[in-house]
Chain A
Amino acid sequence: MTPSFSSTLHRPEALSVTGRHLLDRRQFLARTATGLGGVALTSLLGAEGLLGATPPVIDPGHPYRPRSPHYEPRARRILVIFCAGAVSQLETWDYKPELIRQDGQPLVGGPAVTFQGPAGNLARPQYEFRPRGQSGKMISDLVPHLAEQVDDFAFLHSLTSKTNTHGPAENFLSTGFVPDGFPSLGAWVSYALGSENQDLPAFVAIPDPRGVPQASINNWGPGFLPAEFQGTSFSAKDPIRNLLPPDSVTPASDRAARALLQEINRRHLERNPDDGSLAARISSYELAARMQLSVPEIGDLSSEPAYVLRSYGADDTAHPNKASFARNCILARRLIERGVRFVQLFNGAYASGGALNWDGHNKLKEQYDVHAQIMDQPVAALIRDLRQRGLLEDTVVVWCTEFGRMPMFQKGAQGRDHNPDGFTCWLTGAGVQSGVSYGATDELGRKAVENVLSIHDLNATLLHLLGLDHEQLTYEHNGVSRRLTDVHGHVIRSVLV
């Protein structure tokens, strides 16, 4: 073998950091045909530990084509149910009898000042807990519908966050970093895996009918990944922006513009026949046109039978927010059904003193009565529906929130302050054990003390279920091989099948 300049240049992905993203199909073939010199180099680099991960190769004409994971996945799709505002673990999933006993006592050795100000005394959970399912798992009366399914869930009771402020903590949960501007979990997944449905976006974010969460589009942003991997946001109520032209455009005019564009672009491509980026641009318009047909169809719930609407609560006219959220849940199922890779379903909007999300600082019970009534039945129906349709065989579901709440009430208030030191999320579906609980907070629910988990561990686990090694999924940015999990994260194998 005589290594030559040209043979090394055939491997621009080894030579260049970003050029590899621009590979088109032609180059890909050329590379595999003549890449012998590169193979030797690869092994050299591998031996030196310098090459690190091999990032996905994106075909610019077909950025959403399915790509292979690192290993056989347990799940092919993922549904994230994101409850914004920090759901209290103490009113839901994390049963603390000692807190009932110490109700009204000061927390000895506890913080005098928490996020919003002076801390008050310990306060018992505001809802009764009772054993549920075969497992007898203690769950509160706040979430009766979800409680029926606890035998299918894997609870993580010992999660921790790095910050006690909502926006940064949502960033951390969704991107693995506290600052703004890092790629979201969904962007990483669509970058790695593409999608199984070429007529729909690979990554759909469904905002709560009441508004977007605190960190807003950071939760589904591409960060520094190419823009095609950002989440597309739409809901049962609000369609994709610019999906269709305004009504003032007549169908004939619309067809005319499309035909003219095709004609101009075709001529242009003829003059520049070898430019793959021009072909990619034309195919992006074709995908857009297919989305114009498929997205309205998927958002049209009129074909859903009445019993489905009823089971989700989508027909609950007395509770419009609940009905509207339930319609989002049905939309989520339809997207999963059609092979959308990543669906992110939000419950709760922005900061509002707890009025629009789970941020129960002042009147926790009063506010949670409202929020749980919106969230519980629709989410429970969604999970049951996915299971009945067999979709949980290859879909993993995670219910999560950015942090938890303090066991004390705030001084002079009937609610709890932010607590990033111990909170609960749960998983269910493909690859996840049923009816298990992992990790624990202390007897008052103040801090995680047993098998303490970070958000990185949760994210590493989700990637793992999708067949992705979180240490191998990287992207070069400003001289750093960025990962979703920074330099941390361990797969939580104890809750996996």
Chain B
Amino acid sequence: MPGPNRFRRAGGRVERWIWRGWGLLVGAVWFAVAAVADGSAASDHWAFRPLAAVRVPTPRDLTWACTPVDSFILTRLESVGLSPAPPTDRRTWMRRVSLDLIGLPPTPEQQEAFLRDEGSDAEARWVEFLLASPRYGERWAQYWLDLVRYADTHGFEVNTERPHAWPYRDYVIRALNEDRPFDRFVTEQLVGDSLGEDAATGFLVTAAALLPGQIGQDDASKRLARQDELTEIVHNVGEAFLGLSIGCARCHDHKFDPISQRDFFATQAFFAGVEYGDRPIRTPEAEARRQEAESLKPQLAEVESALTQFEPLARLNSEPRRESDPRRNEITFAAQSARVIRFTIHEANRHPNLGVIEPCLDEFEVFSAGPSATNLALASAGAKVSVSGSKVSDKHRPEHLTDGRYGNDHSWMSDEAGRGWVQIELPEARSIDRVVWGRDREGQFNDRLTTAYSLEVGLPGGALTTVAFVPPLRSAVSARRNTDRFVPVTTRRLRMTIMACTTLEPCLDELEVFTVGSNPTNVARLPGVRVTASGTFPESTEHRLEHLNDGQYGNDRSWISHEVGRGWVELEFPEPTLVDRVIWGRDRTGQFADRLPTTYRIEVQDEAGRWREVAGSTDRRAYEAEDKSPPPPALVGLESAERSEAERLLNHRRDLQRRLKELAQGPQVFGGIFKAPEVIRVLRRGDPEQPGDTVVPSRLTVLGAEPLTAEASDPERRRALAQWIVQSPLSARVWVNRVWQGHFGLGLVETANDFGLKGAAPSHPELLEWLAGEFQRAGGSLKHLHRLLVLSATYRQSSRIDPQAVAVDASDRLLWRFPSRRLEAETIRDSILAVNGRLDLKMGGPGFNLFRSRGGLDGFPPLETFTGDGLRRLIYSHKVRMERDAVFAAFDCPDAGQITGRRRQSTTPLQALNLFNSRFTLEESEVFAARVRADVGDAPEAQVRRAYQLALGREPEAVEARAILPVVKEQGLAPLCRALYNSSEFLVLP
């Protein structure tokens, strides 16, 4: 087989790139063969070379070309003996360019004005109108969102909401509408946090990610999840910006491209400091909120500190604790007359991941005393319910407490972690003797379970009687400071016996004993107090028995037992003293948390010389080393004066917390969270359990590795990467090719996401070089590219199929016609709504629902009828990863699982069923018919004409009208509207 033995760039003239006489295929094949045969050829791969200066060729026919683009296209057509199709009519061109640039058809009025406009620049002005429309960004952003697999959920099995993803979607739309220069668009998405574009960093984390609760508890699962997160970032960067599947080299060197596994991890190292999470968007408004939050934090700390003085009484382990059942709990008591029943929640169980969260009750029932007991607490029986506060959703509402329906779906949820109250008021006083409550009587849930509560009953205005009380556990021991409060007792001797501690020999930095009254004194410090102990850590200057009551805190002034895990200390006062609390700590400076007593008892000696326990650890929560969400302090057991003050502080604290939460809910984006870079290692087979050498961030070897140092900070790394991408000739080629693909269906390089050795060779290599250069000359303006392409003669060609041309170039790669094609899902839905006048053009913000619920046990049942926000453009839907919209997803809508560089164009019976039979189409057809009637009245002829104008931008042909009119006269207009929405002409970019 003849052919050149070596590819040469003669004198740097790129004209020689044309595959003369051999055609594209041979060249492409030769490329691949040469690359494989000769490793050095990889760096000589056309896409990796610097951009070449290209001269615009001169075609034989000098009359056709409107833009330089046309000269390239025509020269190429001429070289194979083809000629371009005749220009399409202006009406078709206008429809084409409108659907293409803004994803909506022109209105009949716009069309009429345009067709009347005989100015030579009418087309250019229409294009300017389209490019200036905010609808433009909404249309073209979709291509980029497909590419990065944007979604509003996290993906994988639980697929929970990612509630702050949308600011990134809005950023992309905004950036396109503002025609942000390409280098800025790239850089913002990588380092937007330092450019005032926090939302742009959403780019880094668009992939599906496992949430902490979904990752296995074993460390290997956690390492794997982290590695998967980092890999997804490499996928995004490699494919979206560079058109290279770098992500494929995680497990082994790339099969085709000169990308080694080390290259993969060196690319990953640019992101070693990136984590997935919500980051605040810093706008002036957000800054004001942040400042307010900062000012509230000290107040909150003050309140919390004040609250620590309210310690519940220690309870001794004498009476068995009533355990709550997630399903059903029955409280019986001696019958009494009551109208008010109040159930106060003091405590809830711990959620395994979330700690103590808001308790939930599915139903609260109050039974009448006597033989025919009935539930009086039903709304239907006239009972009124009030609550402390509610976290409201479809499933959780206060009225669900008394609706007679069980289960989580019909329950109430408090708005406070671990606390809340419910009060039932009966229409009249009744004799009652039983209350039944549950968290979820269907047995699906056992979190959010009330574990401590009081039940009080009585009459309005009067004092309530406590008929049941399950006290909360006291807080877990803390290394800093613990209070044990007890009923005041007069004693001369008090001892604390430690039976277990966290590690080694137990340690106390100070043991304080306070007198009763408004000015309590620490009697342990009184002169004449004698201290004794089971034994003391030998030969230490820091840990001495006398440090126990020396008034000085910290490890250096502490006592440590001589025995591992146990010991006792005793204070003997000079005279009997009335005391009611002991305060002790391990290290009140907070430096040390080891040696902490966890099991202990405190005893006093009575006058008869008997030791009596007054407090201990049995009623405390179990100690947890890192308790991120300690339960709120319980007030049960406080004296009433103390209690009302504590209530006041608690309320104040709750208000502060709510406000802080609100302020924290200032704009956020699911984006990069940045920290000091982790060490990145080459992983054998990509497996985090098989780590190898460490790597530093570096661009791909084949593109001239330039390693950063291991010390490079996270922002330095990302900035270096952004700079490299912007300067790389690959990124400009990849970008202009995407724009070409958007307009012509296929890119000049058909494999838009693969510019590597196995990717397709460009159909018009010189044109690609020229466009990339032109793009750079125009400062990276996307709108400049659009103008260049849509105002070209190439774009203006008719889409008519010429069988002779088909014989030469069946797939129209050389563009002898305009490649008409089916519209994309978003354009179809948006156009349906635009045509019937219902499209809501509200921009930005959280997405509208395509499904009745957002996951969980209900899954994603599709909505069928759309109103309100549901009539916005489809790009503003709440995009659920992997779940497909019930009507339009069948039109090759990407599922946001994997990166989509180009949508497929399939034709399936499901498309037909969805578009013909869905409630959406039928309802919108009715609206369409109503609009037409409103526009032109009741004459069927006028109606048909108007419906055609709106949907297809033309009048019906006479023969069509003759066939259609009798049907419309008999069945009304709606069937015609439904048919028009389904017609090929409506669904195809002409």
A and B, one complex? yes
Give me the interface of A with B, judged by CB distance under 8 Å: 3-6, 8-12, 14-19, 21-23, 26-27, 30, 40-41, 44-45, 48, 50, 60-61, 63, 111, 113-117, 163-168, 170, 178-182, 201, 211-212, 214-218, 221, 223-228, 230, 232, 240-246, 248-249, 252-254, 256-261, 263-265, 267-269, 272-275, 277-278, 280-282, 284-285, 287-288, 291-292, 350-353, 355, 418, 476-480, 487
B926 CB → nearest A CB, Å = 9
Q: Are A242 and B859 in contact (CB under 8 A)?
A: no
Which of A26, A166, A480, A487 has a CB less than 8 Å from the CB of B245?
A480
- Closest A residue to B919 by CB, please name it: A246
Q: Are B216 and A179 in contact (CB under 8 A)?
A: no
Tell me the complex Cα distance, A232–B912, Å.
Answer: 14
Q: Are B80 and A5 in contact (CB under 8 A)?
A: yes
A60-B907 contact in complex given A5-B22, A15-B25, C-beta closer than 8 Å: yes
Which chain A residues border B120 with CB–CB below 8 Å?
none
**Which residues 362-421 in B have Cβ within 8 Å of A in the complex?**
none
Which chain B residues border A22 with CB–CB below 8 Å?
811, 905
**Which residues 52-89 in B have Cβ within 8 Å of A in the complex?**
79-80
Which chain A residues border B982 with CB–CB below 8 Å?
257, 261, 285
- Closest A residue to B79 by CB, please name it: A5
Which chain B residues border A245 with CB–CB below 8 Å?
916-917, 922
Which chain B residues border A60 with CB–CB below 8 Å?
906-907
Q: Are B803 and A478 in contact (CB under 8 A)?
A: no
- Closest B residue to A285 by CB, please name it: B912
Q: Are A40 and B1 in contact (CB under 8 A)?
A: yes
Other A-B pairs beyond A223-B895, A226-B905, A478-B899, 11, CB < 8 Å: A4-B23, A5-B21, A48-B36, A164-B216, A168-B210, A180-B155, A226-B892, A257-B976, A261-B983, A277-B907, A284-B911
Tell me the complex Cα distance, A281–B906, Å.
Answer: 9
B33 close to chain A: CB less than 8 A: yes
Tell me the complex Cα distance, A291–B809, Å.
Answer: 36
A412 CB → nearest B CB, Å = 12
- Closest A residue to B243 by CB, please name it: A479
A3-B898 contact in complex given A168-B156, A241-B886, A260-B979, C-beta closer than 8 Å: no
Tally of B interface residues using CB under 8 Å: 126
Which chain A residues border B821 with CB–CB below 8 Å?
277
Q: Are A113 and B218 in contact (CB under 8 A)?
A: yes
Tell me the complex Cα distance, A225–B894, Å.
Answer: 11
A297 CB → nearest B CB, Å = 16
B181 close to chain A: CB less than 8 A: no
Q: Are B957 and A263 in contact (CB under 8 A)?
A: no
Which of A5, A224, A258, A263 has a CB less than 8 Å from the CB of B898?
A224
A125 CB → nearest B CB, Å = 24
Which of A12, A45, A166, A288 has a CB less than 8 Å from the CB of B913?
A288
Which of A5, A218, A277 has a CB less than 8 Å from the CB of B882?
A218
Which chain B residues border A225 with CB–CB below 8 Å?
904
**Which residues 720-758 in B have Cβ within 8 Å of A in the complex?**
746, 750-751, 753-754, 756, 758
Q: Are B859 and A216 in contact (CB under 8 A)?
A: yes
Across chains A and B, which 5 residue pairs bring their CB atoms closest together, nearest first?
A: A181-B897, A167-B157, A479-B754, A181-B898, A180-B897
Which chain A residues border B801 with CB–CB below 8 Å?
272-275
Q: Are B957 and A267 in contact (CB under 8 A)?
A: yes
Which chain B residues border A479 with CB–CB below 8 Å?
239, 243-245, 248, 256-257, 751, 753-754, 756, 758-759
Chain B's interface: helix, strand, loop or mixed, by majority? Answer: loop
A346 CB → nearest B CB, Å = 13
B876 CB → nearest A CB, Å = 22
Q: Are A30 and B917 in contact (CB under 8 A)?
A: no
Which of B32, B884, B898 has a CB less than 8 Å from the CB of A180?
B898
Q: Are B980 and A252 in contact (CB under 8 A)?
A: no
Which of B80, B746, B967 has a CB less than 8 Å from the CB of A260?
B967
Which chain B residues border A260 with CB–CB below 8 Å?
964, 967, 975-976, 979
B115 close to chain A: CB less than 8 A: no
Tell me the complex Cα distance, A63–B906, Å.
Answer: 9
A170 CB → nearest B CB, Å = 8
Q: Are B884 and A9 in contact (CB under 8 A)?
A: no
Q: Are A216 and B750 in contact (CB under 8 A)?
A: no
A479 CB → nearest B CB, Å = 3
Which of B36, B157, B907 has a CB less than 8 Å from the CB of A214?
B157
B215 close to chain A: CB less than 8 A: yes
Which of B257, B750, B959 has a CB less than 8 Å from the CB of A16?
B750
A352-B857 contact in complex given A111-B218, A223-B897, A264-B985, C-beta closer than 8 Å: yes
Q: Are A264 and B80 in contact (CB under 8 A)?
A: no
B497 close to chain A: CB less than 8 A: no
Q: Are B913 and A240 in contact (CB under 8 A)?
A: yes
**Which residues 229-274 in B have Cβ within 8 Å of A in the complex?**
232, 239, 243-245, 248, 252, 255-257
B632 close to chain A: CB less than 8 A: no
B850 CB → nearest A CB, Å = 13
Q: Are A115 and B245 in contact (CB under 8 A)?
A: no
**Which residues 191-240 in B have Cβ within 8 Å of A in the complex?**
208, 210, 214-219, 221, 224, 228, 232, 239
Q: Are A11 and B25 in contact (CB under 8 A)?
A: yes
What are 14 inter-chain pairs, A to B, with CB distance below 8 A?
A3-B26, A5-B79, A44-B1, A215-B157, A224-B898, A228-B906, A230-B910, A245-B916, A260-B967, A260-B975, A261-B979, A265-B984, A478-B751, A479-B751
- Closest B residue to A45 by CB, please name it: B29
A269-B984 contact in complex given A50-B33, A180-B895, C-beta closer than 8 Å: yes
- Closest B residue to A118 by CB, please name it: B217
A117-B217 contact in complex given A63-B907, A167-B156, C-beta closer than 8 Å: yes
Which chain B residues border A30 with CB–CB below 8 Å?
806-807, 810
Tell me the complex Cα distance, A26–B807, Å.
Answer: 10
Tell me the complex Cα distance, A163–B223, Å.
Answer: 12
Tell me the complex Cα distance, A225–B895, Å.
Answer: 12
Tell me the complex Cα distance, A125–B244, Å.
Answer: 51
Which chain B residues border A353 with CB–CB below 8 Å?
444
Tell me the complex Cα distance, A180–B235, Å.
Answer: 14
Tell me the complex Cα distance, A260–B901, Å.
Answer: 37
Which of A8, A180, A216 has a CB less than 8 Å from the CB of B25?
A8
Q: Are B984 and A282 in contact (CB under 8 A)?
A: yes
Q: Are B157 and A478 in contact (CB under 8 A)?
A: no
Q: Are A221 and B822 in contact (CB under 8 A)?
A: no
B250 CB → nearest A CB, Å = 12
Tell me the complex Cα distance, A180–B151, Å.
Answer: 12
Q: Are B907 and A10 in contact (CB under 8 A)?
A: no
Q: Are A181 and B822 in contact (CB under 8 A)?
A: no
B881 close to chain A: CB less than 8 A: yes
Which chain B residues border A221 with CB–CB below 8 Å?
882, 895, 897
B974 CB → nearest A CB, Å = 7
Which chain A residues border B862 with CB–CB below 8 Å?
241
- Closest A residue to B802 by CB, please name it: A274
How does the 8 Å CB contact mask read for B170-196 relative to A, with 1 for contact and 0 for none?
000000000000000000000000000
Which chain A residues border B119 with CB–CB below 8 Å?
none
Tell me the complex Cα distance, A212–B28, Å.
Answer: 46
